[in-house]
Structure 1
């Protein structure tokens, strides 16, 4: 027979506790028959915590034994701690992976085969567009991070916002090879400054900073990946100018 578990979690018209949902799901997937008790208001949640001497919900009971909250449930089930926020390259890896896939499928759709050079061109251009979107969706948050290391933005703060537009429009126009002799030099200069800024901040000054490449508030560390991104865009700008000759 399935073991029995009880969970007390917040389920209100305005709030559905994510930890409660995750705890309920863990119990179900581990073969427990779950009695799901909904706490349907903030007042009821406060009252429950006071009455039971706990400081959070959800609260889980297994066969009448009080386990505690979501983290303690994971520990009880032998799953280890839930992944926490911290330094990660996941956002930039996701963008590069999707951009590469788009480059491959776009090349195949238009040429009927895989032209490696064209795939690389599109991969870099699509990456620039995706990274630009991440910056433009919250310019204020992005610029707060960018000015901490970019040498030009430190001297003229509005340039931080300009850079986001340079990257985005540069990617858009590079997809079709439009206005190359205007776009490519601008992208080259902007990304060259960015590369020098990263080298100075990370490798010379040894500062521990977060990269603004995927927008503000990210946990992507400033370093090799960020430098590689700038070098790729510099190479793309040079390549586009060579192609235009």
Structure 2
């Protein structure tokens, strides 16, 4: 049930939420110029959990301000369940037992999303281009596409990336412009490796040394910062705004870049 809200006081709002065993009262902003996404997400969550939602829309700024004043809150939406004021969308998630990450809490979710996507993409490419699955072709496509995907993440906010990168990269600390060049070098190496997969070409000498260089410097920097100095840092590998912890993921990224370069040079010499 959706209706334009009357500004109920706290007691009235609690009473409405007690109307049934699985009922909830939701107050959310739905003004002509702004439909609150957290209100819609709260409504969807409640309905998925089997609640009948008394959906109260706050359609003007005056209604929003009056509701905040009446209930002593600073934001909307606000949900009431069983006569209890639950709070906003984050509080509602906690109420239902969903994990809510703190602002500075570290997570591997971004890298899982990237590597999971590039793994599926690499499998599809290997099957299409090479006519069947081989672990060598899959790994080469996976490593090269992952380098490109990680470079894209950095290039979205180069300044933010550099701010994090300067926290641990040994070469960037001595020569700051290297930090700005790094995402472009990673992109160059990744795209070059994609172009050379399955080929033995002298162009490998324009690509492989770049991957070996930036990968080796990066790996040494991570080992020093994390495993020798024991520093707790955020990894800039997926961009400056991420909360991915610096450690095994970043070390793997750098070792993969260096390893891909060495692998390609090895194929050149073997030919």
TM-score, length basis structure 2: 0.83
How many residues get paired? 242
Structure 1 window deviating more from structure 2 (24-33 vs 220-229): it is 24-33
Please give the root-mean-square deviation of Cα atoms over the aligned residues, in Å: 1.9
Equivalent in 16, 23, 26 of residue 45 of structure 2: 26
Deviations 1:188-230 (A, max 9, x none): 0111010111011111111111001101110100001111111
Cα 1:47–1:82, aligned 2, differ >3 Å: closer, same or farther?
Answer: farther
1:131 matched to 2:150: yes
Deviations 1:6-59 (A, max 9, x none): 211112234333332222112212222222111123443222111222333222
- 5+ residue gaps, structure 1, are none
Distance in 1, matches of 2:139 and 2:86, equals 51
Equivalent in 77, 80, 90 of residue 97 of structure 2: 80
State how 1:1-245 maps to structure 2 within 5 Å: 3-62=22-81, 65-70=83-88, 71-74=90-93, 79-85=96-102, 86-177=105-196, 179-245=203-269
Rg larger for? 2
Distance in 1, matches of 2:46 and 2:31, equals 21
Distance in 1, matches of 2:167 and 2:99, equals 31
Distance in 1, matches of 2:119 and 2:91, equals 40
Distance in 2, matches of 1:190 and 1:93, equals 23
Distance in 1, matches of 2:190 and 2:72, equals 56
Deviations 1:87-137 (A, max 9, x none): 111111221121111111111101211121111111100000000000111
- 5+ residue gaps, structure 2, are 1-19
Alpha-carbon distance, 1:62 to partner: 3.6
Cα 1:43–1:200, aligned 2, differ >3 Å: closer, same or farther?
Answer: farther
